[in-house]
């Protein structure tokens, strides 16, 4: 058995610091930490996708106002090839 009286975030695990987790409980704590890591990854991935979606919308609006692909790439902070791909995709969906 393992003694664990601090949680993974540093807060008290239990009020009784002499509390002893069983092996099953300890394994569960490790699994929860792994699940939290997965959720953090998924959340960051979603944020990145949202940022790219917003950048694409901004790029399309900028193109409509006459900005060049190079200027859009610089101002939006996206690779020039990605900007060109966005506009080729837009033309394909319009046609």
User: How far is it, in rounded angstroms, from Cα 59 to Cα 41?
Assistant: 27
The answer to whether 2 and 21 are in contact (CB under 8 A) is: yes
Residue of 4 and 89 predicted with greater confidence: 89
* Tally of CB atoms within 10 A around 88: 9
pLDDT in tens, 38-66: 788 888 889 999 999 999 999 999 999 99
Look at residue 71 and tell me whether its pLDDT is greater than 80.
yes
* More confidently predicted of 16 and 84: 84
Question: What is d(CA 52, CA 19) in angstroms, rounded to the nearest whole number?
Answer: 47
The confidence band for 2, taking pLDDT boundaries of 50, 70 and 90, is: very low
Confidence at residue 82, expressed as pLDDT on a 0 to 100 scale = 93
**Which pLDDT score is estimated for 12?**
47
């Amino acid at each position: 058995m393992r003694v664990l009286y601090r949680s993974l975030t540093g807060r008290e695990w239990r009020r009784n610091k002499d509390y002893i987790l069983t092996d099953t409980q300890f394994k569960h704590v490790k699994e929860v930490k792994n699940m939290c890591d997965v959720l953090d990854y998924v959340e960051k991935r979603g944020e990145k996708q949202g940022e790219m979606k917003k950048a694409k919308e901004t790029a399309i609006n900028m193109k409509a106002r006459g900005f060049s692909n190079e200027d859009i790439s610089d101002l939006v902070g996206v690779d020039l090839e990605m900007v060109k791909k966005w506009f080729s995709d837009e033309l394909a969906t319009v046609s």
